[in-house]
Structure 1
């Protein structure tokens, strides 16, 4: 449940068991240092798809993207009076999704390279047959 508005208050009044038997997790923005540490761990140096010289830039970019989404969510609230929640889970999902898409694209490119290599071999074989 979102703590915004009267919904939480009304539900707590109507169902007192919610207050007695539930725990409330309040999400506050992570500090920059925590965002950087989490991205550094998730984008590990053992990942062969990300060159070492680009790893630091990628980590700082992930932090910048998450912070900008948070800033734009505040603007969204001011202009349209609608909430967009940016949670730590969103940040973890963002990095995981990036790594998954990176792996999928690498596999796609590898398959295309193998297909091209096979085609070049067929062309070479055909040219030998013609000579």
Structure 2
């Protein structure tokens, strides 16, 4: 990319220690944000699966009750 930048802009691309540290800091912040987002999504998925399981059990119970009521 530095060579393409030199060809197009006729300027060299330099990485200073400060800009390198800023890039590391930016990467660290992005990693933290993405990790938090993934953990939130995992929690949300687990809660949804728990609700689906409990709802399925309730539906099965209601089916049994309905079968008994239909017989009577």
Q: Quick check: which has more Rg, 1 or 2? A: 2
Match of 1:84 in 2: 13
Match of 1:130 in 2: 59
2:30 aligned to which of 82, 101, 105: 101
Structure 2: which 5+ runs fail to align?
A: 61-72
RMSD of aligned Cα (Å):
1.7
SS in 2 for 1:86: coil
Superposition deviation, residue 101 in structure 1: 0.7
TM-score (norm 1): 0.40
TM-score (norm 2): 0.69
Q: Which has the higher helix share?
A: 2
